[in-house]
Structure formats: C-alpha cells, structure tokens
Amino acid sequence: MITKVTYLIATILSVKAFPQNIQLLSQLPSDPIEQPDSWAWGRHPKEGFGYKARNSLTLEQCIDNPETAGTVHCDGYDYSYPVELCISMPRLAPLKVCADAKFPKDFCVSNAANMVKAKGCQKFLTDMCIMDISLATSQPCADAQYPKDFCTSNANQMVKTKGCQKFLTDMCTMDINLATSQPCADAEFPKDFCVANAVKLIKANGCQSYLTDLCTADVSLAVSSDCAGVKFPASACTSNANFAILDNCKGVEFPASFCTTSVQIALLDNCKGAAADVTFFQCTSNADVCRSKICEARVPNKDFCP
C-alpha cells in the first residue's frame, strides 16, 4: 500500500514538472540534475514529445576549468581569463576567453601559426607572418606589410601579396621568367634590365617606354612586327648597316663617313645630303662607292677610283 501511494505522489510531481497532456518517449531520470521544465522539448509528428537536458557546464565550472574553454559545453558563456593564464596555456590564447588579452611580442612570434588571428597580437602581425613563407601568403596575413628584403628573397611566392606590392619591380627583376609572368604585368622595369632582356621583354608593359632601345638592341627585334613603326635614332641607324636599310630609319640623314662604307648605303635617300661633305679619301676607299652618284662631285674622273 505504501509503495502504491509513493508511486502515485511521484507521478503527480513528475506531471507538474513538464508540459501537460504529452506522450513521453521514455521515462524521466530518477534524479535529474536540472528541473525538467527547463529542458529542451520537441514534438515529433507521430512519436509524441521527446526531451533532453542541456549539454553544458555551469559558468562557474567553465571558469574554474580552463581546459573546457572553446568546447561546446562552455561556448555559450561570456567570460575571459587573465593574460598570464592565456600565456601559460597557449591553446587558449586564440580563443574568445583570451580575446581581450594583450600579448607580448615574443609570445606572439614564438606561437605565430596559432596567434596570427589573435586580436592581442595584431600589432605584431608582420613579425609573425615573416616567420614562415606559407604563413606569409595565407589569408590571416593579408594585411601585413613586409620589408623589402623579405619580399625579394621570396619573390616567386610573395609577388602576388598585397604587403609586397610597393616592391613589385624589385621582385619582378629577380628572375626574367617572373618578370614576364602575369603578376608582374604592371611592374615598371629599369632601362638596363629591359635592354639586357630585350627579346623576352619586348612586349612587356613595363618596358614600353624604352621600346626604341629594345628594338635597336637586337637585329631580329629591329625587323620584327613588334618594332614596326618605331622611329630609330641616327646613332642606331648608323651603328649597323642592317638597321640603316630599314623603314625605321627613313628620314634620318646619314653622315658622309657612314654613307661611304658601302655602295648599298651610299645609294640610300638618307645619304643625299652627304654628297656635299664626302671627301676624296672617303670616295676612293671603296671602288663601288667611288663610282656612285655620291662621289660624282668629289671624284669626277673615275680613273682615280680603285
């Protein structure tokens, strides 16, 4: 009889502890750690109500047990640890519980891979990022500003990073293959670098201001479509007979000394004005030139021609 009364009382109390008129999927635990009316309840369309106690620790338990920080049991609480504890347990340093801690530089750098995202280390971002090239090119280091020597020493990896863009030319000139790559398309190259690598850089945007110098650096370039329409200076035209006969040298007046080097040159329109300046010696130094129109005034008697 006593057992039946006790069961009846327990049943009445349990009914008051959770929503009424429901069909439970299982029995309540005999000694619940929290009141059932604070549990999460949900109704299945066919199976009635189900329930589950909160899967979490108390705030005090989370604070007193640092190893629980960052777990699902404590994520819902807003609390923080002193910087000394965050340093003594590096695993905690990047977590929310240490978000307000201001870490010393040596700690940030020594734990760069873990601390690069920590708010308390952001003023040492560059120092952390340069600790490892893979870290330097990662998203957490996107805002880091790198020193020139680090950028150039790792040019191939760093050429695309925002923190090295002010040294773009320095990086791109470290390797001719890098200079001709897409990341270096906007780099402005120095004249000597362009000329020294004229064949490969003839199309580079960063060398277009020196296009004439590139075209006259190599005969194969001078006659190429890349140099069509480029006006060659007199010094370039008279440096090589192959240049002199090109359309790039039309309109350039050649000196008498150059016009008398070969009959091919002497017959060019560029040498019409040189006839008045040519000397007897210049004319008689080459038989074909001597008998050409440029020497008619200077050597009218062709018997003097060799």
DSSP letter assigned to residue 203: T
CA 252 to chain centre: 45
Indicate the DSSP class of residue 89.
Answer: S
- Tell me which residue of 193, 237, 203, 192 sits closest to 219, measured CA to CA: 237
Task: Please provide the DSSP assignment of 42-71 as one string.
Answer: EEETTTEEEEE------HHHHHH-GGGTTS
Which stretch of DSSP H or E encloses residue 40? strand 40-44
pTM of this structure: 0.67
d(CA 82, CA 86): 7
pLDDT value for 233: 96
Q: Would you state the structure tokens that stand for residue 218, as one six-digit string? A: 């190599």
At 250 the pLDDT is 94
Classify 24 as helix, strand or coil: strand
Tens-level pLDDT at each residue, the chain (306 residues): 444 434 333 444 444 444 555 555 556 667 766 666 655 555 555 555 554 445 578 899 999 999 999 998 898 889 999 999 999 998 999 999 999 999 999 999 999 999 999 999 999 999 999 999 999 999 999 999 999 999 999 999 999 999 999 999 999 999 999 999 999 999 999 999 999 999 999 999 999 999 999 999 999 999 999 999 999 999 999 998 999 999 999 999 999 999 999 999 999 999 999 999 999 999 999 999 999 999 999 999 999 999
Structural tokens at position 25: 């999927």
Q: Which helix (H) or strand (E) holds 147?
A: none
pLDDT, residue 75, reads 84
H or E segment to which residue 38 belongs: none
